[in-house]
Structure 1
Amino acid sequence: MRALVIRHDHVTEAGLVGERLVQRGYELTLLTVVPEERHHTPAVRFDFPDTDGWDLIVSLGAPWSVYDERTVGSWIGGELALLRKAHHHGIPVLGICFGAQALTTALGGSVEAASRPEIGWVDIDTDDPALIPPGPWMQWHYDRCVPPPGAEETARNAVCTQAFRVRNSLGVQFHPEAIPDVVQSWVDCGGAEQCVRLGIDPEELVAYSRAMEPVARENAYRLVDAFLDRVACPD
């Protein structure tokens, strides 16, 4: 089985989600949209592949907004077309943070600024804890999804929809893939300043992320297993 993993920047990794997919028998193909040297000028040209030959598509997070034409306008249309076509052809999509926002946009929903940012480990309210454990989950976002027509919201908190399902695709606003080294990379790549503005100690956030790794791995594996067994292959 082949999984296409869309990595929007050089920092984010498939992490715990990728680990579990490999354990479940998937061969991962990782595509990086914006190279490191263009991180601060991400309006790059990128040609997304067709949907043929993929059994699963995973769209990871990104430090930009889906609706910001100044930064992602050159390539976001190609990704939305890919996700839309995959969904139409029954290829499961797992969208994570920015990836969830791309998924909801591709399927007729929208994305807007959240009432407040969420950075750190957060518990959520879930209607289906076997699919979406209550956490805590790593969060790092400023926007929120408005799920597309026909979507089932499966988890939420006071800030936003935290998970939604559309047929055999799933979008989650949090970061089940996050490993401590990735959190450290986010902090090092401009995230420290964001944390300080919000009154968060970035060093404490990284240290807590390391302490949370066993719980994060268990929750991520449970989510991936349930996604594969119940959402991607509901029959």
Structure 2
Amino acid sequence: MRALVIRHDHVTEPGLVGDRLVQRGYDLTLLAVVPRERHHTPDVRFDFPDADGWDLIVSLGAPWSVYDDTTVGSWIGGELALLRKAHHLGIPVLGICFGAQALATALGGSVEAAPRPEIGWVGIDTDDPALIPPGPWMQWHYDRCVPPSGAQEIARNAVCTQAFRVGNSLGVQFHPEAIPGVVQRWVDFGGAEQCERLGIDPKELVAHSRATEQMARENAYRLVDAFLDLPSCPI
């Protein structure tokens, strides 16, 4: 089985989600969109592959906004077209944070600024704990999804929709893939200043990520397993 993993920047990686997909028999193809040297000027030209031939598509997070045309306008349209076609072909799409926002937009929803940022390990309210455990989950976002018409909201908190399903596709606002090494890279690559502006100690955030790694792994594996085992729904 072939899974396409869209890695928007050099900092993020499929982490725990990728580990579980490999354990479940998937061969991962990582698609890097913005190279390291263009992280601060991510308006690169990029040609996305066709959706045909993949068994699963995962769209990871990114430090930018889906709606920021000056930042991602040169390539976001190609990704939205890929996700839209995959979904309509019945190919499951798992969107994570920015990826969830891209999925929502591709299917007729939208993205807007959240009433406040969320950074850190946060519990959520879930209607289906077998699919979306209550966490806590790693959060790092300033925007939120407005799910498309017909989407089933599965989880939420006071800030935003935290998980939604449309047909065979699932979007989550949090980061089930997050491992301590990735959290450290987020902190090192501009995240420390973001944390400090919000009164968060970045060292404590990384330390907490290490202390809860086993719990995070178990929750991520449960989510991936449940997603892969979802019965097919009409698109």
TM-score normalised by length of structure 1: 0.98
Aligned to 1:93: 93
Q: Distance in 2 between matches of 1:163 and 1:196?
A: 27
Q: Give the secondary-structure state (helix, strand or coil) at the position aligned to 2:229.
A: helix
Q: Does structure 1 residue 145 correspond to structure 2 residue 145?
A: yes
Q: Distance in 1 between matches of 2:164 and 2:233?
A: 15
Amino acid corresponding to residue 23 of structure 2 in structure 1:
Q
Aligned to 1:40: 40
Superposed CA deviations along residues 22-69 of structure 1, whole A, max 9, x for unmatched, are: 000000000110000000000000000001210000000000000000
Q: Distance in 1 between matches of 2:52 and 2:111?
A: 28
What is the alpha-carbon root mean square deviation over aligned residues? 0.9
Superposed CA deviations along residues 83-112 of structure 1, whole A, max 9, x for unmatched, are: 000011000000000000000000000000
Q: Does structure 1 residue 116 correspond to structure 2 residue 116?
A: yes
Amino acid corresponding to residue 197 of structure 1 in structure 2:
R
Q: Distance in 1 between matches of 2:230 and 2:66?
A: 28
Q: Give the secondary-structure state (helix, strand or coil) at the position aligned to 2:119.
A: strand
Q: CA deviation at 1:234?
A: 5.8
Q: Give the secondary-structure state (helix, strand or coil) at the position aligned to 1:51.
A: coil
Q: Does structure 1 residue 21 correspond to structure 2 residue 21?
A: yes
Q: Please, which runs of 5 or more residues in structure 2 have no aligned partner?
A: none
The alignment covers a number of residue pairs equal to 234
Q: Distance in 2 between matches of 1:106 and 1:149?
A: 12
Aligned to 1:57: 57
Q: Does structure 1 residue 177 correspond to structure 2 residue 191?
A: no
Q: Distance in 1 between matches of 2:23 and 2:102?
A: 26
Q: CA deviation at 1:230?
A: 1.2
Q: Give the secondary-structure state (helix, strand or coil) at the position aligned to 1:70.
A: helix
Q: Does structure 1 residue 103 correspond to structure 2 residue 103?
A: yes
Q: Distance in 1 between matches of 2:199 and 2:177?
A: 25
Amino acid corresponding to residue 131 of structure 1 in structure 2:
L
Q: Give the secondary-structure state (helix, strand or coil) at the position aligned to 1:25.
A: coil
Q: Please, which runs of 5 or more residues in structure 1 have no aligned partner?
A: none
Amino acid corresponding to residue 88 of structure 1 in structure 2:
H
Q: Where do residues 149-164 of structure 1 align in structure 2 (5 Å cutoff)?
A: 149-164=149-164
Q: Distance in 1 between matches of 2:95 and 2:183?
A: 19
Q: Which runs of 4+ in 1 moved over 2 A?
A: none
Q: CA deviation at 1:172?
A: 0.1
Identical-residue share of aligned pairs (%)? 87
Q: Give the secondary-structure state (helix, strand or coil) at the position aligned to 1:43.
A: coil
Q: Distance in 2 between matches of 1:130 and 1:203?
A: 32
Q: Give the secondary-structure state (helix, strand or coil) at the position aligned to 1:221.
A: helix
Q: Does structure 1 residue 133 correspond to structure 2 residue 138?
A: no
Q: CA deviation at 1:13?
A: 0.3
Aligned to 1:167: 167
Amino acid corresponding to residue 31 of structure 1 in structure 2:
L
Q: Distance in 2 between matches of 1:103 and 1:83?
A: 6
Amino acid corresponding to residue 84 of structure 2 in structure 1:
R
TM-score normalised by length of structure 2: 0.98
Q: Give the secondary-structure state (helix, strand or coil) at the position aligned to 1:158.
A: coil
Q: Distance in 1 between matches of 2:212 and 2:7?
A: 24
Q: Does structure 1 residue 7 correspond to structure 2 residue 7?
A: yes
Superposed CA deviations along residues 185-210 of structure 1, whole A, max 9, x for unmatched, are: 00000000000000000000000000
Q: Does structure 1 residue 189 correspond to structure 2 residue 189?
A: yes
